[in-house]
Each structure stands twice: as C-alpha cells, then as structure tokens.
Amino acid sequence: MNKYAKITLDGIIFQNPTFVLVLGTCPTLAMIHSATSAFGMGLTVVVILTLSNILISALRKLIPNEVRIPAYIVIIATLVTLARMVLEKFLPDLYDQLGSFLALIVVNCIILGRAEAFANKHTVAESAVDGVATGLGFTFALTIMGIVCEFLGAGSIFGAKIMDFTIGFFAQPAGSFLVYGVSIALFTCIMDSIQRWRRARKNRPLTHESLVQEVA
C-alpha cells in the first residue's frame, strides 16, 4: 500500500483520534450538542493541525530536543490566535458557538500528540497528509455525533427543523457523553467485524472459485 494512503486510512479510520485513540474528549463532549458547532470545531482543528504539522516537520531539525514541547505550543498558539481572528471577523456566529474551547485547541492532545508522535519524525509532505487525515477523522466523528445529538435533543440537523418531538436529555452534557460512549462501542464493533472478515477471507482454503476471485 502507498505510504500516503496508509497515513490517510490510519488518520481517518484505523487510528481515528476520537473513536480509537479517544483524544480531545473535552471539545468533543462540549461541541457535539450541535452539528454546526461540531463541524466547525472539526474544520478548525483540520486547518490548525495540518499547518502545525507542516511547520513542526519543517523545523524539526532546528528545534532543540530539550525545548521541543514549548516550541510546539508556541507554534500551535500562534496558529490558534490567527484562526480566532479569522473566525471572529468572518464567522462571528461560529466563533461564539466555539467559545473558550477555541482557545483550548492550543493544548488539544490530538494536535500536540501528532506533533510529537508524527511531525517530529517525518517529512513535510507526510506530516501534511497526516494532519489532514487525522483532522478529517476528528471532524467526521464530531459531525456524526453532533447530528445525532442535535436531532434527538432539538429535533433539527444543522439548525434545520426536522421534527417537533425532542428528548431534552440529549441536549445536555450527559446526553453527549452517552452518545460518545455508544459511538465508540459501535465503531469498535464494526472495526472488529471487518478485521475478522479480512482474516477469515485471508485464511480461507484455496479453491478454484476463490482463485478466480483473487485474479479478478
């Protein structure tokens, strides 16, 4: 498999930061009450994570090992400040929805984790792909859970009213926590089922029919 394809699949699926690594739980639980805020937070993280990965990878040989974490935080904090200024100017409603959690991206474990575990050891191109893939995996997870919570808690999706019946529990932090837990369990079950199917398919006896399928 192409290395960039592997990095992409790991970031979005196999090493999904929300469902597999369970990172960034604070913004996750805070934002998934609304699909709009969840999607907005996800895209913001995509931009900051990608740019921070690129900069850290490009500067990795210049940053002394003893001060690498403070250096990472300075780089990420600068990007977050710029992102806040852009959102406040052009998307004030989203800026208000993200609130203080936008500033907390500076110490988001996903961004710091990828800087330390990946960008510090790989090329700029690989780090850029990792940033985009991991950010999209985070966005995908938050948006799916945001749609579920908003639909059940407010009867709407992305602010568009779908039904009048609502369950107030899902508009509260406890409801977000339940949706998050159930989502992790479902994702884990699906991935386990896929892995078992792949192992069974790999280990099945070689027959004429299976050989024809493999060649096809």
Q: What is the pLDDT of residues 143-170, one digit of tens each?
A: 999 999 999 999 999 999 999 999 999 9
**CA 152 remoteness from chain centre:** 22
- Whether the per-residue pLDDT at 67 is higher than 90: the answer is yes
The Cα–Cα gap between 210 and 216 comes to: 10
- Whether the per-residue pLDDT at 102 is higher than 90: the answer is no
User: What is the pTM assigned to this prediction?
Assistant: 0.89
What's the rounded mean pLDDT across residues 117-143? 96
Strand partners, 157: 160
- What's residue 205's pLDDT? 59
The Cα–Cα gap between 103 and 43 comes to: 15
For residue 37, name the pLDDT band (cuts at 50, 70, 90): very high
Residues of the chain above pLDDT 90, percent: 78
For residue 117, give both structure tokens: 């575990």
What's the rounded mean pLDDT across residues 58-76? 93
- Whether the per-residue pLDDT at 215 is higher than 60: the answer is no
For residue 39, give both structure tokens: 């999607």
Backbone angles phi, psi at 160, to 5 degrees: -90, 125
